[in-house]
Amino acid sequence: MEENTQKKTPRRRSTRQRRVILDVLRSTKSHPTADWVYEQVRQEIPNISLGTVYRNLKLLRDLGEVMELSFGSTYSRFDGNPELHYHFRCVDCDRVLDVDIPAVEELEQEVRDRHGWEVFTHRTEFYGRCRQCSRQREQTPTK
């Protein structure tokens, strides 16, 4: 009986870890880094390691439960919404915001038709300055 319980523990633990990580990601629209997710998850599971959080994020990404957004050479951001949608990155405050226009899925067909490649998905990112940062700039007198 006791042996049985011990055998089951690791699997149950990893299921719980994954669920908590997913809940944390789905509860925010901020497209956080793995470190941020780790800090939140730790409040629920104090002994979890950053490596475990990272591994689970990659696994959830492979399962199509979350999206990983990598921006060049910097660290990845994660998105609890795995549906195809676009993002806007503010070059001043570094925030990543959802773009509220529908993804243009026809683009994939166009590329397929033009090149004969199999296209699985596409990603589009917009770069610029968010409203908040624009306002701040207007209010700060330039030297």
Structure tokens at 5: 């319980």
Pairing of strands 76-79, 67-70: antiparallel
Answer for which of 93, 99, 101, 107 binds Zn ion (CB under 5 A) is 93
Q: Which does 48 bind (CB under 5 to 8 A by kind): Mn ion, Zn ion, none?
A: none
Q: Which does 98 bind (CB under 5 to 8 A by kind): Zn ion, Mn ion, none?
A: Mn ion
Count helices and strands in the chain by DSSP H and E runs:
5, 5
DSSP assignment letter at 46: T
Quick check: helix, strand or coil at residue 38?
helix
- Tell me if 87 contacts Zn ion by CB under 5 A: no
The footprint of Mn ion (CB under 5 A) covers: 79, 98
State the minimum distance, in angstroms, from the CB of residue 30 to Zn ion: 13
State the minimum distance, in angstroms, from the CB of residue 137 to Mn ion: 25
